[in-house]
Amino acid sequence: MIHEPPEFRRFLSFLRNTRHVSENPLQRYRLWCLRFFGFVNHNGRTPWTATYDDASEFVCQIKAEKKPATVGHAISTLRCFYDWACSERLIGYNPFSLIRRPNPGFRVPRVLTREDMQALLTAIPGDSPQAIRDRAVLETLYSTGVRVSELCGLDLKDIDLSRRRAIVWGKGQKERVVFLTEAAAAAIRDYVLLARPALLDGRRLGALFIGRRGRIHRTTVTGIIRRAARLAGIHKHITPHTFRHTFATHILENDVDIRCVQELLGHERLSTTQIYTHVAKSRLEAVFRRAHPRERELGSPGQAISRK
């Protein structure tokens, strides 16, 4: 078992109370730090005597088994830890200060078509409390583009159905306003009036969406999406984040300013939002081929040539 230095608990408290890091990311911080502690311990050193060479060798080791994005997260985590350790005077230098994050390359996010999304939103049948809740969850995800952690963190008091808006708490406990479509507001209203009391089963909870053990969990949300996809006959890997990607892309396809989308998604950097412009542009050709009158008349360029 890897030894956890007593000082490390202070670092976790710093993340939780000062940086407002939620529990799932907090566990990732903990696991990467403990793995590095075990690595330096094997080399005969402690976390407070780790060297630049230790950091470099560790990164080379994980590069052989992890994707670039995961390696980059590990480097950022350990750099953050040692920045804190330097500020606490536990070590006089940051072993990871010279380590650069690998270039993860460009990956176009998975996005659903409007037809697929419509099929998903209407796939779950029935009037049971769970069915009404599940439809409200799907509509809220697509209407707002929130992260699954933000959806699960919604309280009843955060929803204003009369103005069709909600307050969510994003990364670093940053507050932002998101908006509800008429369909989403109607689904939430039905859920609050017809389903939520039954799911509460006498419990007093502030959470908007209720699961078996209280506040709905991300695994329940993932299960709802998988069931809807199966019922809709959609054979794609769809996650809660797919809804977020799809929300952003569909908004941008309607010529919304990218800075507005940045605000809606709660991105700190515009560069994070700009990935969706690539997605929207990649769909332009398909739209052109389908919409232009001469394209419909003559078919593809290859077909036109074959007629000569």
pTM tops 0.75: no
Q: Is residue 61 part of a domain?
A: yes
On whether residue 306 sits in a domain, the answer given is no
Q: Is 211 found in the same domain as 83?
A: no
Does the annotation count 281 as an active-site position?
no
State yes or no: is 100 an active-site residue.
Answer: no
Q: 225 vs 30, 75, 114, CA distance in Å?
A: 30, 33, 16
Same domain, 209 and 121: yes
Q: Tell me the average pLDDT across 296-308.
A: 46
**Given the residues 10, 19, 171, 218, the one annotated as active site:** 171
Say whether both 253 and 171 belong to one domain: yes
Contact criterion met (CB below 8 Å) for 114 and 250: yes
The domain that holds 214 is classified in CATH as 1.10.443.10
- What would the mean pLDDT of 33-53 be, rounded to a whole number? 91
Q: What's the mean pLDDT in 131-160?
A: 95
The residue with greater pLDDT, 245 or 273, is 245
Same domain, 132 and 279: yes
Catalytic residue among 29, 82, 142, 276: 276
Q: What is the pLDDT of residue 24?
A: 83
For residues 22 and 117, give the distance between their C-alpha atoms in angstroms, rounded to a whole number: 30
Q: What is the mean pLDDT of the chain?
A: 86
Same domain, 131 and 253: yes
> Are both 186 and 251 inside the same structural domain?
yes
Give how many domains the chain has, as a whole number. Answer: 2
Question: Does the annotation count 171 as an active-site position?
Answer: yes
Catalytic site includes residue 244: yes
Question: Considering 3, 212, 241, 296, which one is annotated as catalytic?
Answer: 241
Q: Check whether 304 has a pLDDT greater than 90.
A: no
76-97 pLDDT tens trace: 999 999 999 999 999 999 999 9
- The domain in which residue 156 lies consists of 114-285
Tens digit of pLDDT for each residue in 172-203? 678 899 999 999 999 999 999 999 999 998 88
Q: Which position has the token pair 């990649």?
A: 282
Backbone angles phi, psi at 168, to 5 degrees: -120, 155
Q: Check whether 300 has a pLDDT greater than 70.
A: no
Kindly name the residue from 30, 133, 135, 147 that is annotated as catalytic: 147
Residue 36 shares a structural domain with residue 170: no
Distance CA 179, CA 15 (A): 30
Catalytic residue among 30, 73, 196, 244: 244
